[in-house]
Amino acid sequence: MNEQIRINKYIAESGFCSRRAADQLILEGRVEINGKTISEPGTKVNPDKDNIRIDGEVLKPQKKVYYVLNKPSGFITTTSDERDRRKVTDLVPQNPRVFPVGRLDYDTTGVLVLTNDGDFANLLMHPSNKVPREYEVRLDKPLQKEHYEVLLTGVFIDKTPGRFVSVKFVGPEHKKVIVMSHEGRNHFVKRMFSKLGYRVKELHRLSYAGIKVTGMRKGDFRQLTRPEIDSINAKYNKK
């Protein structure tokens, strides 16, 4: 590889973290090229010639791995925690190191992808790709018809509109619904319902980009298959 590429892209391709996270590392002054700290994510690097370090450690490319975890409640979706709480990364192999794609709340369960492929993670998370996420939601009270319509047309969160692609009732009481969204904002599903006066009592992600955990117990994981990975790349990669 005798060519130059953007440092944030190379960090992501090396499996250290997503490209978005690489940008943050660079802005925080944690990345060095040939002993010099850089501050621009667009800085070019030649991986064959340049010495690249993150937090003082030499960056070494790793074999790409892809896991889907049936996340249990009581685990945080991060790779480190100053309060020493249980992390989703504790539930999958530690070598090579992987990171979660996006976030699920501490008490939210279901589909969570973990990988060391930064480009794949960015593909799933980038809003322009409109990757579907499907959730089963249990509410504290029945969902009213007028609110059903509002969830589909739009609810403002932080002055930015959000909406569900679909809303389906489960059972006659209308306290349980299945929603689909293209949104990846933090606490998006809970905040959508909260804006309309509902409290989400249980939240379970059924699928992400078509990936499911059907038949898997909470805390179980499996490797994504090559057909699954190829299908996602073919469907959502706009390049």
Find out whether 77 and 222 touch, Cβ atoms under 8 Å.
no
For residue 76, list its beta bridge partners: 87
Q: Do 140 and 186 share a structural domain?
A: yes
Q: Do 218 and 115 share a structural domain?
A: yes
Cis ω on the peptide bond leading into residue 96 (within 30° of 0)?
yes
Distance CA 103, CA 175 (A): 25
Query: Other C-beta atoms within 10 Å of 139: how many?
Result: 18
Q: Do 217 and 115 share a structural domain?
A: yes
Can you list the positions of beta strands (E) in 56-95?
Answer: 57-58, 66-71
Q: What is the DSSP letter of 132?
A: -
Q: Do 220 and 116 share a structural domain?
A: yes
Distance CA 99, CA 107 (A): 19
Q: Do 202 and 147 share a structural domain?
A: yes
- Residue that is last in its domain, among 13, 34, 58: 58
CATH code of residue 138 = 3.30.2350.10
Contacts of 24 (CB under 8 A, 6+ apart): none
Instruction: Give the pLDDT confidence score for residue 2 in this predicted structure.
Output: 58
- Residue that is last in its domain, among 19, 34, 58: 58
Q: Do 117 and 226 share a structural domain?
A: yes
Q: Do 37 and 51 share a structural domain?
A: yes
Q: Do 93 and 28 share a structural domain?
A: no
Instruction: Give the pLDDT confidence score for residue 95 in this predicted structure.
Output: 85
Q: Do 146 and 80 share a structural domain?
A: no
Structural domain including 111 reads: 66-125+213-236
Can you list the positions of beta strands (E) in 23-75?
Answer: 31-33, 36-37, 44-45, 52-54, 57-58, 66-71
Q: Do 116 and 90 share a structural domain?
A: yes
Distance CA 18, CA 3 (A): 21
Mean pLDDT for back-to-back runs of 10 residues, the chain (239 residues): 82 84 93 94 90 92 92 91 88 90 95 93 92 98 95 93 96 94 94 97 98 96 95 86
CATH code of residue 107 = 3.30.70.580
- The alpha carbon of 199 is separated from its chain's Cα centroid by a whole number of angstroms, namely 23
- Residue that is last in its domain, among 29, 58, 87: 58
Question: pTM for the complete prediction?
Answer: 0.80
Q: Do 196 and 99 share a structural domain?
A: no
Marked catalytic residue, from 23, 55, 105, 158:
105
Instruction: Give the pLDDT confidence score for residue 63 in this predicted structure.
Output: 86
Find out whether 153 and 192 touch, Cβ atoms under 8 Å.
no
As for how many domains the chain has, the answer is 3
Instruction: Give the pLDDT confidence score for residue 33 in this predicted structure.
Output: 95
Instruction: Give the pLDDT confidence score for residue 217 in this predicted structure.
Output: 97
**Residue 105 known to be catalytic:** yes
Q: Do 231 and 166 share a structural domain?
A: no
